[in-house]
Amino acid sequence: MEIVVSFSQIAHFFSGVSTLFLIILPILAIAVIVEMALRLVLKRGYPYKNSLVSFAVGVGHVLTQAVTYGIIIGVIGEAAYHFRLFTVHFSWSDVPLVFALFIACDFFFYWEHRTSHRVRFLWATHSVHHSAEDMVLSTAIRLGWTALLSGIFFFYLPLVLLGFSPKIIGVMISVSLLYQIFVHTELVPHIPGIEWIVNTPSAHRVHHGSNHEYIDKNFGGVFLIWDHLFGTYQKELKNVEIRYGLVEKRSSWWDPFVIAYGEFWNIAKSVVTEKSWRSKVGYVWRPPGWTPGS
């Protein structure tokens, strides 16, 4: 079976990502302004510098990843689609099928997200998002510039091989990410009960905590049922103030390039200075913070 990869495919998906960004940008801008006004009215202040850095990193994400997402969905995804076991004739009017695929995508997002916290090479990309030391809506767009290296597309390949179009899967993931913008805020308190099913700002504040009690918890995107099933759910504790940001801080909190590539640089230094090949591999594939003998 011949698989043809063309620049037109990449250009098509570049255009699609750009269009999606143009749709999300005004929604995010309005939400950020509203959140800013509410925080000032409530006399909670607003982290202007942190938000500006997040927007700078977010712009870098869009510029570096538009073509990358075209490669992931339009080339790698379509190549895998050639080897599908079935062909799913998807229709947006088929509500049960749409809902089932959305839940499936969220399930795979949970494992992609969890793995990105437990494998240092993948964490190097995802840690960009966790570098923000304040929890406001603009934090949602503080995203890595190295999606192709993060390997996230591998987690969704089972759905492609089952016969779902990579384009449709990309839309589902985008809808999930749009929802997740609005869980990056401190203005919404803990809402009892619903965290058995749905991700909330309170649950996601826990996820961004670098405290011992909060690290590596609440990986769900839209649904938290996965965290309850697999033992990674943690409620926000009244007696433990959340400390946002990374356990090991970047050498610069404001330089987008340091934020985007800092962990890759740290990995490279560890690998070069370590003599044991087993330890070299450990610094790449073990969890963040791993050291030989730990």
Q: Report percent pLDDT > 70 for the chain.
A: 90
Least reliable range by pLDDT among 32-36, 58-62, 120-124, 130-134? 58-62
Average pLDDT (40-54) is 96
**Cβ neighbours around 210 below 10 Å, total:** 16
CA dist., res. 291 & res. 262, Å (int): 18
Give just the sign of the alpha carbon dihedral 253, 255, 256, 257: negative
Q: Is the pLDDT of residue 20 over 70?
A: no
pLDDT single digits (tens) 64-105 = 876 677 677 767 788 889 999 999 999 999 999 999 999 999
Q: What tokens does 190 get? A: 């803990």
CA dist., res. 187 & res. 36, Å (int): 10
Residue 198: pLDDT band (50, 70, 90) is very high
The shares of helix, strand and coil residues in the chain, as percent rounded to the nearest 5, are 60, 0, 35
CA dist., res. 51 & res. 294, Å (int): 36
Average pLDDT (251-272) is 95
- Find out whether 127 and 47 touch, Cβ atoms under 8 Å: no
Q: Which of 244, 236, 241, 138 is nearest to 188 (CA)?
A: 236
- Residues 136-147 as b/e (b if ≥16 CB within 10 A, e otherwise) read bbbbbbbbbbbb
Name residue 244's beta-bridge partners. 209
Q: Is the pLDDT of residue 17 over 60?
A: no
Q: What tokens does 148 get? A: 């192709």
- Find out whether 285 and 121 touch, Cβ atoms under 8 Å: yes
Distance of CA 155 to the CA centre of its chain: 13
Residue 3: what pLDDT? 43
